[in-house]
Amino acid sequence: MRARNGGGEEGGRRQPPALLAADLDGTLLFPDRSFDPSLPDVLARLRARGVAVVPCTGRMLRSARPVAARLGLREGPVVCYQGALVAELGDGAWLRHQPVPSPLAVRVVEDVRRLGLHLNAYVDDELVVERLDEWARRYAEYAEVGITAVDDLAALVRERPPTKFVVLAPAAEVPAVVAGLRRRWGGRLTVNRSQPEYVEVTAAGVSKSAALAWLCRRLGVPQEAVVACGDGMNDIDLLRWAGLGVAVAEADADVRAAADVVVPRAGLARFLDGLA
């Protein structure tokens, strides 16, 4: 199915894939978290033709499941936490988990404390913070989850390895935060920008494409039979890995360049309907 064209505009094949891997926020979901009213029916048609539809998101499992349900996806696998967790939408069972090792997790907490930035930790699919500040409230509202506040986050992650961290900072400061954390943790942790104000920190080797490759081996789906859709810097590896990578036109230039096909976000449902 691969047809690399250097990130061209909409066009090319309409052969049904075996699996559709789709980012949620900014891809299937519009920036205001709404979606094309036709999208649930489009996804249902794909599934009726035997296409596995797999959300691939940075969201927590407890945040991803209700969003997927609104799109008509109530069963099947889901990739969460940028690939650190693969789980089942139906019963929430965890299939594959790659947490941040506790010794490294403790040092991340200590480093971010020194930087004076807000830090979210995700432990056993719960959002945990030391400071219940505006950053925490805004994130919890966006993700539609509750917050647990603790006195000593380092002590918690020493005993319970976190699935991931998110460092929150003003958008203008995020590139410097990413560069600094990569210098500090390069090779030992994965550091990526997902949203303008979010820096994601996961175990080394964690990515959406690695999780999807594992899932495809489990399902017996060849790489070339996968279509992937995304909009963020954290989707670049997924777009490059898939047989066909589809970026939304509103994405950054680096994301568009990693894709085979570029479509407007508002036209993605129509494009996917063409695959069915």
pLDDT in tens, 115-166: 999 999 999 999 999 999 999 999 899 889 999 999 999 999 999 999 999 9
What is the pLDDT at residue 16? 83
Q: Which pTM value belongs to this model? A: 0.92
- Of 186, 203, 220, the one marking the end of a domain is 203
Same structural domain for residues 197 and 219?
Answer: no
- Of 203, 219, 246, the one marking the end of a domain is 203
Residue 10 has pLDDT above 50, yes or no: no
Residue 1 has pLDDT above 80, yes or no: no
Q: Does the residue 21 lie in any domain?
A: yes
Residue 7 has pLDDT above 60, yes or no: no
Give the confidence band of 187 by pLDDT, cuts at 50, 70, 90. confident
Q: Does the residue 1 lie in any domain?
A: no
Q: Does the residue 2 lie in any domain?
A: no
Give the confidence band of 6 by pLDDT, cuts at 50, 70, 90. very low
HSE-CB at 44 with a 13 A cutoff on CA atoms is 10
Domain, as residue range, for 49 = 8-97+207-275
Percent of the chain at pLDDT > 70 equals 95
In the chain, the number of structural domains is 2
